[in-house]
């Protein structure tokens, strides 16, 4: 499943489900669940329960105990909507996760090329994203360096990416904002420059700024490199954000092969206090699928 349309759902057999009434936001007898970690849903995950309104969806997330939220497309929303979301998050003690900071070049060289016009485009996008981040109280924004430049040696490409990211940090540091570099797997996104956590680690060390860190997407890295907990451990001091998705299928935890209970336990015991974005689909459509998703997170979060 491609990152740009990851929210498409596939279908798998369901587990035992709670009733719709047990998840009603108006049922005052239902105690809000307290998760150990800050899992962040996307819009659309709970629309069968909450409807299509974005504030109604945010309220449902909050009512279920989710203390964070992320939205890849936040930058494309109008100013009024961004402000409305930001105000809701503040008033309901929820944190804003990542949004995509710039135009991603999926099929042609971008930051790796060293092209000055591409660099200017990227830096202008970063400046615009600073404004968006302030409206929605975001601390992190996603950066994907784009496609490989097959005409250049990989070391020259790396130099070009590092130089561009250093200039971006010159914009972000004064605002205490962080871009998180997301390595993406070769199967869903063939030909991209950034694919592995050691590569992202090397780049972040070279940029050497608190405004340039790693977004460790567990789904992507399971496909790309495996060895998840050891790689998280090795790159730990450059990781600022996690994203979630099981494999195969890119749906909620418990639907694939990844042992999320062990991974979350490790992350928790390391003292991680950041956000884990739920960048995946629902394995079952409709109300039943939404209940299954919530129950899956309760299951894998039960590690203490």
Per-residue model confidence (pLDDT) at position 2 = 52
User: Tell me, which fold does domain 34-300 have in CATH?
Assistant: TIM Barrel (3.20.20)
Cα–Cα distances in angstroms (integers) from residue 56 to residues 25, 64, 135, 285, in the given order: 10, 12, 19, 19
- Quickly count: other Cβ atoms within 10 Å of residue 73's Cβ: 10
Tokens, residue 225: 């490199």
pLDDT, tens digit, for every residue of 67-85? 999 999 999 999 999 999 9
Question: Mean pLDDT in the chain?
Answer: 92
- Quickly count: other Cβ atoms within 10 Å of residue 100's Cβ: 21
- Quickly count: other Cβ atoms within 10 Å of residue 142's Cβ: 25
How would you write the pLDDT of the chain (304 residues) with one tens digit per residue?
454 443 333 222 222 323 333 444 444 345 789 999 999 999 999 999 999 999 999 999 999 999 999 999 999 999 999 999 999 999 999 999 999 999 999 999 999 999 999 999 999 999 999 999 999 999 999 999 999 999 999 999 999 999 999 999 999 999 999 999 999 999 999 999 999 999 999 999 999 999 999 999 999 999 999 999 999 999 999 999 999 999 999 999 999 999 999 999 999 999 999 999 999 999 999 999 999 999 999 999 999 8
């Amino acid at each position: 499943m491609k990152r740009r349309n990851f929210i498409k759902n596939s279908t798998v057999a369901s587990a035992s489900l709670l009733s719709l009434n047990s998840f009603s936001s108006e049922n005052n007898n239902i105690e809000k669940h307290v998760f150990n970690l800050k899992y962040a849903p996307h819009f659309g995950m709970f629309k069968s329960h909450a409807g299509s309104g974005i504030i109604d969806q945010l309220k449902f997330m909050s009512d279920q105990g989710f203390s964070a939220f992320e939205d890849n497309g936040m930058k494309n929303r109008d100013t009024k909507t961004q402000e409305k979301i930001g105000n809701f998050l503040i008033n309901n003690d929820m944190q804003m996760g990542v949004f995509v900071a710039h135009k991603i070049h999926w099929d042609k060289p971008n930051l790796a090329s060293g092209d000055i016009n591409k660099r200017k485009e990227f830096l202008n996008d970063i400046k615009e994203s600073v404004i968006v981040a302030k409206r929605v109280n975001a601390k992190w924004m996603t950066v994907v360096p784009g496609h490989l430049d097959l005409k250049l040696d990989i070391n020259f490409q790396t130099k070009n990416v590092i130089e561009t990211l250093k200039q971006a940090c010159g914009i972000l540091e004064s605002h205490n904002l962080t871009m998180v570099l997301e390595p993406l797997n070769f199967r869903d996104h063939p030909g991209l420059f950034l694919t592995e956590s050691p590569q992202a680690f090397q780049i972040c060390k070279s940029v050497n700024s608190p405004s340039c860190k790693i977004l460790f997407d567990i789904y992507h890295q399971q496909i790309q490199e495996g060895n998840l907990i050891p790689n998280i451990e090795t790159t730990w001091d450059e990781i600022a954000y996690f994203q979630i998705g099981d494999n195969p299928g890119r749906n909620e935890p418990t639907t694939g092969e990844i042992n999320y209970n062990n991974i979350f336990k490790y992350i928790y015991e390391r003292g991680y206090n950041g956000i884990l974005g739920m960048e995946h689909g629902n394995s079952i459509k409709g109300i039943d699928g939404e209940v299954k998703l919530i129950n899956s997170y309760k299951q894998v979060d039960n590690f203490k």
